[in-house]
Amino acid sequence: MKLPDVILLNGATSVGKSQLTLALQARLPFIRLGLDDFVYHCAPATWFGAPDGFFVPLPREDGVDIVDYGADALKIWRAFHRAVRVSVEQGLGVVVDDAILTRELLDDWLAALDGVDVFFVGVHCTVEELELRTLARRDRMHVVGGAAKGIKRVHAHAVYDLEIDSTATPNSVLAAQIIAAAETRSGPSAFERMRAVASRHGSA
């Protein structure tokens, strides 16, 4: 079976998605469009910490919160999604990484890639490992104790074609697993199944 137009990786920040896209690109003639490059690295510095950009909200009752986004940040996320579609329309295969924070962002992916063949992959790792990876990074806002909430949040609304664990498995092995699963898939894709559910509930 032919490869999909898009391989979309979704997982919490620092789970290892960017390195996994590189491992996939080493095996596939796909371009990479990543959350870091298109969203965080393109946004003006003034957006970070601003209500309309990227910010850490005031703590909720559980005392732990993670990075959220406002109206301006939503615009750049929507542009990110549509850049992937335009790339496919130009005949390019695309491997993408994202941290889909809300149902709103997932629904926009479904809308932007309507009619596009998408293989949707959930990338997981243990909370302990994610905390270590996040603390080791210096390019991202970090909230102590946010790893568990981040994992729960990005996967809350998603249905996947494949789920993988990056805690200890090398990226080369994970990439091979993704490609093999994409090549042997059958039946409606995860995106098609989520659209069908949304349509039945009147939210398509």
Q: What is the pLDDT along the chain (204 residues), one digit of tens a residue?
A: 689 999 999 998 888 899 999 999 999 999 999 988 888 788 888 888 888 887 655 444 444 455 678 888 899 999 999 999 999 999 999 999 999 988 999 999 999 999 999 999 999 998 888 878 777 665 444 454 556 777 888 999 999 999 999 999 999 999 999 999 999 999 999 999 999 987 777 654
80 burial level (CB within 10 Å; 0-12, 13-18, 19+)? buried
Mind listing the domains of the chain with CATH numbers?
Answer: 6-200 (3.40.50.300)
**What is the per-residue pLDDT across 42-55, written as a single tens digit (0 to 9) for each?**
888 888 888 888 76
Q: 0.95 cut: is pTM over it?
A: no
Contacts of 138 (CB under 8 A, 6+ apart): none
**What is the per-residue pLDDT across 106-131, written as a single tens digit (0 to 9) for each?**
999 999 999 999 999 999 998 888 87
Bridge-based pairing of strands 30-34 and 162-165 is unpaired
Helix extents (H) in the chain: 17-25, 35, 71-89, 103-112, 127-136, 146-155, 171-183, 190-200
The two three-digit tokens of residue 144, written as one number? 């102590």
